[in-house]
Amino acid sequence: MNIAKTTENGVCTVSPSGRIDSASAQEFSTVMEEALKESRNIIVDMKEAEYISSSGLRVLLSAKKALGTAGSIALINVGSDILEVLDLTGFTDILKVEAETEADGSRIRIVFFDVDGTLLSHTTGQVPESTKRALEAVRRKGVRIFIATGRDINELAKLPVLDEITFDGFLTLNGNIILDENRKMYAGNEIDPGEVEILVNIFKAGRIPFVLIGEKERYINYVDDVVIRTQESTHGTIPDIGEYKGEKIYQCLAFVDADMRRRLEDLLDQCLITSWNDTGIDIIAKTGGKAAGIQKVLDIEGLKRSEVMAFGDGENDIPMIRFAGIGVAMGNGGEKVKAAADYVTDSVDNDGIEKALRHFGMID
């Protein structure tokens, strides 16, 4: 038996292959214990699993008890033989279980869209007309549409996205602040207060350009040429210079090179770091990320992962693309993003969103 384990943006995925029985249960248990140390949101991908016996079920039950109500375990891509076992033993009532299904747009009830490079063209700085048409059409069919972005709502409001398209909700700051259609916050995931002390010290030390972002404000410690070039390249705005006032912090930005990113990753063991530019990184809670944010929306809305579609092009989109029932990578996205997707569409400038929605039969 082989077991793969990956953790990205607050979600740990365990992927066993072969039989999960008395011969392999100890190995499965060890990996699940490691997963619980890394995340409170566990996905067990059963696509390559052939069977599960009572020994394997006890491992899942133990993990569920260890989490309590502080997290979740979901089994995905469950084949018919294993599904029969889970149903017979009542595990379908204990855990979130999703049967193996073919990608089918008819079951999609909610779609999450990244902004930069997905809704918004890097070339023109605008939303393509084909994207506006497609989103209006899919929404008319009763499918809810959400933004899922690393930007905060104030910066997002300065882009030509919200004026031209009506959205049902917003995952901002990489899913760490969730807003309803009226832009009112109804869920959040702040960075651990102890870790915030270190982040504030980095901010105050002023060795690197650093941004603190709370629920309503964002401010930077200083601005240099790197900040200006980075923000210009992504049509971003530069925060005002400010001082930390003790509020909850939901995300930080740093304008640094790859070497400094690695140093920050080693330092901040309660945070996750993703890149959105060669010199721009997001720093969020270890339990956060777009996938974790989507799960909160699903819990509130009473929806399943199989009813989710997600579009993205960047590193911070990979977890939500993997998490979604149908994950779509834009043609202008990186190779790792494309490898994580169920489907690779055309680029944002070549009607990628419209073509993908049409491919899955969600619009005419």
Which pair of tokens denotes residue 179?
A: 């807003």
Taking only the tens place, the pLDDT of each residue in 67-114 is 887 788 989 889 888 999 999 999 998 888 887 666 678 889 999 999
pLDDT averaged over every residue in the chain = 92
Give the span between the Cα atoms of 325 and 341, in whole angstroms: 10
For residues 333 and 69, the model is more confident at 333
- Express each pLDDT in 210-229 by its tens digit: 999 999 899 999 999 999 99
Helices (H), the chain: 25-38, 54-67, 80-88, 91-94, 129-140, 153-156, 193-205, 225-233, 258-267, 290-301, 318-323, 335-340, 352-359
DSSP symbol at 165: -
Structure confidence by residue, pLDDT tens digits, 260-271: 999 999 999 999
Question: Structural domains in the chain?
Answer: 2-99 (3.30.750.24), 105-189+289-359 (3.40.50.1000), 193-285 (3.30.1240.10)
pLDDT tens digits, 307-321: 999 999 998 899 899
Percentage of the residues of the chain whose pLDDT score is greater than 70: 98
> pLDDT by residue (tens digit) across 159-212?
888 888 999 999 999 999 999 999 999 999 999 999 999 999 999 999 999 999
Is residue 249 over pLDDT 70? Answer: yes
Transcribe 348-359 into DSSP letters: GGGTHHHHHHHH
